[in-house]
Amino acid sequence: MARHLPIITSYGILSGRDCVFLDRVSFENRTNALLLEGSISGSLCSIPQDVDLPYTLRFRGVLALNMIELDSWNWKSASSFDEIRESDWISSLGGKVTLDHRHFFLQTYDDVFQVVCSSYELDISRAVVSP
């Protein structure tokens, strides 16, 4: 049975509908990389911050991708960014899937992404607040 495990970021676990905002999505077809950019509400991190945190999330070696509008989503998750272990989706894939592929779930304010890929990189920047 599939298990959702929260991804622990440098600011802890991300939780809540208002936690992750998405500004830009792009797919690099030549490298099969999905790039998501936006901001994280610092107050909704398990290590709270007093500012919003810009992020870049790149999934590499993408084999499968699903995006659905959040209000049409009806699955429960552990946090806003999870890894799904013992994934039925990975088990159902053929082709180039290997034991190294992983299934991720990301809930943004408007959309939910599920990605089967070989790796991810999450860069969260500390926003600079001007005096």
How does pLDDT run across 34-93, given as a tens digit for each residue? 999 999 999 999 999 999 999 999 999 999 999 999 888 777 789 999 999 999 999 999
Question: Which residue did the predictor score with more confidence, 21 or 29?
Answer: 21
Predicted local confidence at residue 71, as pLDDT: 83
Predicted local confidence at residue 2, as pLDDT: 83
Predicted local confidence at residue 129, as pLDDT: 53
Predicted local confidence at residue 130, as pLDDT: 47
| Average pLDDT of every residue of the chain | 92
In the predicted model, what is the mean pLDDT of residues 103-125? 96
Let me know: does 58 contact 121? Beta carbons within 8 Å: yes
Q: Which residues of 91-109 are buried (b: 16+ CB within 10 A; e: fewer)?
A: eeeeeebeeebbbbbbbbe
Let me know: does 33 contact 101? Beta carbons within 8 Å: no
Predicted local confidence at residue 128, as pLDDT: 53
In the predicted model, what is the mean pLDDT of residues 14-39? 96
Predicted local confidence at residue 95, as pLDDT: 85
Predicted local confidence at residue 127, as pLDDT: 58
The answer for residues whose C-beta is within 8 angstroms of residue 89's C-beta and 6 or more apart is 64, 103, 114, 116
116 has pLDDT over 90: yes
